[in-house]
Structure 1
Amino acid sequence: MGIIAFIIIGLIAGLIARAILPGKQSMGLVATTLLGMVGSLVGGLIGSLFERNGRLFDLHASGIIMSVVGAIIVLLLVGAAGRRRVHA
């Protein structure tokens, strides 16, 4: 997958993850794209645990779904770290 496709999928996954999770996430378009890109990597690693074809970065529907799942996981972890830091 090319870098442009990775950035576009990251943006889409980040936007969907932010739309799914309730609450206010104060981040801009670049941060949302980075969230989706990291989520795509996390989702790809989780997906590779269930699929053994050796192709981690192929573009397919389950990869996009796992990118959104990974972005949601990253968003929850960032939110939990932010809440812990503010209250500590």
Structure 2
Amino acid sequence: MSWLWAIILGLVLGLIAKAIIPGKQAIPLWLTVIFGMLGSVLGNWVATGIGVNETEGIDWMRHLLQLVGAVLIVGVGDRLWAGLRAHRRRTT
């Protein structure tokens, strides 16, 4: 069941990240989910590093860090995806 929640969280974070980043992103939905999941992991890692991963009530800071991680990874991943697609078009 934890994989299902990871996929749902990745989808939500990835879609929010795509909405925050200006312009149109060319990455497909499946890659958005993966980048959202990676952003969640990055945010959890940073939250653990600064000591805010376990708090009383809702972990707002951890969730914010997860979103920031998703925005970073979606932004970088979109640029890499666009570059890969452009390279494939030039070589064929």
Which letter does structure 2 place at the counterpart of 1:62? M
Which one has the largest radius of gyration? 2
1:68 matches 2:67:
yes
User: What residue number does 1:48 align with?
Assistant: 48
* TM-score relative to the length of structure 1: 0.73
Rounded to whole Å, the distance in 1 between the matches of 2:29 and 2:83 is: 25
TM-score (norm 2): 0.70
Q: Does 1:31 align with 2:9?
A: no
Residue ranges of structure 1 left out of the alignment (5+ in a row) = none
Q: Show structure 1 runs of 4+ deviating over 4 A.
A: 79-86
Shift of 1:75: 2.2
Change (3 A) 1:33 1:84: closer
- Indicate the percent of aligned positions where both proteins have the same amino acid: 32
Seen in structure 2, the aligned counterparts of structure 1 residues 12 and 52 have a Cα distance that, compared at 3 Å, is: closer
* Shift of residue 60, structure 1, vs aligned partner: 4.2
RMSD: 2.7
1:3 aligns with 2:14: no
The number of aligned residues is 83
Q: Give, in whole Å, the separation in 2 of the partners of 1:68 and 1:14.
A: 8
**For the structure 1 residues 23 and 60, does the alpha-carbon distance in structure 2 shift closer, same or farther, using more than 3 Å as the test?**
same
